[in-house]
Amino acid sequence: MKRALPLCLLGASLLGCASAPVQLETERTYQVEWIGERPLIDNSHLSITLGEDGRAYGNAGCNHWFAGYTLSGDRLSFGAAGSTRKLCAPALMEQEARFLDGLGKVQRWDVSPLDQLRLWPATGKPLRLWPEEG
């Protein structure tokens, strides 16, 4: 009986630590950390916000972008992205092109064991994002 009590207490404490799984939320901004196999250029800030109206938008590193999206369960896809037309350094423009191209290939989303949001294309590595603090 003395051994059973500590095991019960341990089991109850572990159950109390369980949290609800992370969900992809609309009207929340996510900061991009990786595009496929490559991290972002230092001090570049890319973001995604999924509006409740089916429109996504954010910063592509140089320009602001926008696109329609469809979300159903773990399925997520973006329509053709449009953007403002500001010019930046060639490396930022190349990164922005990879990001916008990657958005167009997204087919599903999930959450990594580290609670990082991942947007997966049919093949290859995902876009990896963190919820913006705030």
pTM score, two decimals?
A: 0.81
Q: What is the pLDDT of residues 14-42, one digit of tens each?
A: 444 455 555 789 999 999 999 999 999 99
3: left (phi over 0), alpha (psi -120 to 50) or beta: alpha
Domains in the chain and their CATH numbers? Answer: 24-131 (2.40.128.270)
The rounded distance, in Å, linking the Cα atoms of 6 and 12 is 10
The rounded distance, in Å, linking the Cα atoms of 113 and 62 is 31
β partners of residue 66: 57, 82
Which residue's entry shows tokens 């900061």?
Answer: 31
Q: Which residues fall within 8 angstroms of residue 133, CB to CB, at 6 or more apart?
A: none
